Amino acid sequence: MAETLPAPEDVPHAETMPLLGLGTWENTDPEQCAASVRTALETGYRHVDTARVYGNEAAVGEGIAAADVDREEVFLATKVWIDNLAYEDVIRTTEASLDRLGVDAVELLYVHWPAREYDSRETLAAFDELVDRGLVERVGVSNFEPAQLEQAVDLLDTPAFANQVECHPLLPQRDLREVCAAHDVEVVAYSPLARGAVLDDPVLTDVAETHGVSAAQVSLAWLREKGVTAIPKATGRAHIADNWRSLDLELDAEEVERIDAIDRRDRRVDPGFAPWN
């Protein structure tokens, strides 16, 4: 008998954003990317994350269009790259992203990094303009440190909806999560499996063995316990389904405390232009 997977309606939400989504960073083969998006949506995912710089927006759009899921059910997010953050560039490149994705609007648009062409007033004013024009429903920031996040919250006319950062049990981002919570900003975790490092952590593997699940599922369940939306990248059907099954995993308080106490910090995404450098 086929295994029953969690249903889309079983996914917890942060407001209207499903707390588990599909990440597409480095999913650059067009056929594979489109297939993985379609597979994820037909598995039950309703949140897909991409970015202009990933070079796969067209393939993501093809996957969404091919899936037996209405577009209205999909929470779609993309991002504006650091070379395109001047006012007119934000407008122009976002319109181009919508064309590649084959959609009239996206549910969430992020400032990908506060770097290079980022000017808080000019860039964020363009994001507000996109909301006013109906091309973007929500504004997000990505890789923002607390001071930058607070500045963005103050400058935006549209409420800042989310801050997408690297977050997982080996980089829990406690202080940043507290600042986000204080401003009603959701936290979205990219690289929620620490680019594979969680699979070898002894605490996570021990908890996984107790439940008969993967360490990946434990990491994703731990993030959900913290109210963090995870967007793990997966391309194959098996990994897409394994991550989805994390929705069935409930960690008890002792297990969460053990994971909280992991004495290891492992940042996997650390470019020279990052604001913490």
Active site residues: 54
Tell me whether residue 267 is exposed, middle or buried, using C-beta atoms within 10 angstroms of its C-beta: 0 to 12, 13 to 18, 19 or more.
Answer: middle
Task: For residue 109, give the H/E element and its range.
Answer: strand 108-111
β partners of residue 256: none
Greatest alpha-carbon pair distance for the chain in Å reads 57
User: CB-based burial of residue 154 (10 Å sphere; 0-12 exposed, 13-18 middle, 19+ buried)?
Assistant: exposed
257 burial (CB, 10 Å; 0-12 / 13-18 / 19+) is: exposed
Count other C-beta atoms under 10 Å from residue 238's C-beta: 9
How big is the CA angle at 109 (ends 239 and 92), to the nearest 5 degrees?
120
As a whole number of Å, the CA-based R_g of the chain is 18
